[in-house]
Amino acid sequence: MTVRASLVTEPIDTREVLREVESPGHGAAILFVGFVRDVNDGKPVHGIDYTAYEAMAEREMTAIATESAERYSGSFVVIVHRIGELSVGDASVAIATSHAHRDMAYSASRYAIEQVKARVPIWKREHYSDGTREWVDPTGKADRVGSA
Amino acid sequence: MTVTVLLFASYAESLGTSSLSLELPEGARVEDALRTIRARSVSALPPKPLIAVNQVYARVSDALRAGDELAIIPPVAGG
């Protein structure tokens, strides 16, 4: 049984993340990778720096991996998120899941990435061509947070 | 009692620091800590920021204890 999560500062070896969930009884494995895009909201992006409340982020990611494995019938789940300065095309997050059958592996993967986006205390600041940097607020409320 | 307040990302920038030590009366709740921080700073925090106490999401009505680590969490943007 492989269920784990970590924050890293070095580039993510996505093939290695996938290899971690391989198992003779598992006929299906899914690798989800999130990459830094070169554009967001129509603005060209040169890079992103990610910061985290590291101890809590690892704790939440581990909780998500465990929940995903429990909900989806003993799937193996590995979540790796990178923080620090990333360039366009770098992998920011990799999630590997596996199960005897594909349905559970896909569901475990989808659950994990949606939960990571919703609740792990990680923040990103985009770098633009004019040298400015801006914190990204996916809630679209600038500096205001609703009762999420 | 003393609690440690952690600030991140845009909140750390707008308050000019990533951590504060707050002196609060015994029995204080998260909302009392937020009120104290707002009174100190010209930059207002949002009305209902996400909060974690000792690395677990918490409510503004939760009681604090000496030595707690109170984190004020901007909108998360991982992935």
Task: Residue B52: give its domain's CATH number.
Answer: 3.10.20.30
Domain encompassing residue B51: 2-73
The crossing angle, in degrees rounded to 10, of helices A54-71 and A102-119 is: 150
Taking contacts as CB-CB distances below 8 angstroms, the residues of chain B near A50 are 78
Option in A92, A122, A125 nearest B76 (CB): A122
Domains contained in chain B, number: 1
Option in B8, B14, B77 nearest A53 (CB): B8
Q: Residue B43: its pLDDT value, please? A: 66
Is residue B78 included in any domain, yes or no? no
Least confident of A113-117, B2-6, B14-18, B21-25: B14-18
Q: Residue A147: its pLDDT value, please? A: 32
CB atoms B55 and A118 under 8 Å: no
Q: Residue A141: its pLDDT value, please? A: 55
CB atoms A121 and B52 under 8 Å: yes
- Quick one: average pLDDT of B12-31? 94
Is residue A144 included in any domain, yes or no? no
Is residue B37 included in any domain, yes or no? yes
Burial string for B19-46 (b: 16+ CB within 10 Å, else e) reads ebebebeeebbbebbbebbeeeeeeebb
Q: Name the residue among A119, A116, A79, A71 with its Cα closest to residue A97.
A: A79
Q: Which amino acid is at A11?
A: P
Domains contained in chain A, number: 1
**B1 vs A: CB within 8 A:** no
Residue given tokens 């990204």 in the structure block: A136
- In terms of DSSP bridges, do strands A122-128 and A133-135 run parallel, antiparallel, or are they unpaired? antiparallel
User: The whole model's pTM is what?
Assistant: 0.92
Domain encompassing residue A79: 3-135
Task: Residue A34: give its domain's CATH number.
Answer: 3.90.1170.40
Q: Residue B39: its pLDDT value, please? A: 86
**A134 vs B: CB within 8 A:** no
Q: Residue B42: its pLDDT value, please? A: 62
Contacts of A56 (CB under 8 A, 6+ apart): A121, B52, B55, B56, B71
**B39 vs A: CB within 8 A:** no
Contacts of A110 (CB under 8 A, 6+ apart): none
Is residue A41 included in any domain, yes or no? yes
Has residue B66 got a pLDDT over 60? yes
ipTM: 0.93
In tens digits, what is the pLDDT along chain A, a chain of 148 residues? 999 999 999 999 999 999 999 999 999 999 999 999 999 888 899 999 999 999 999 999 999 999 999 999 999 999 999 999 999 999 999 999 999 999 999 999 999 999 999 999 999 999 998 889 999 998 875 443 333 3
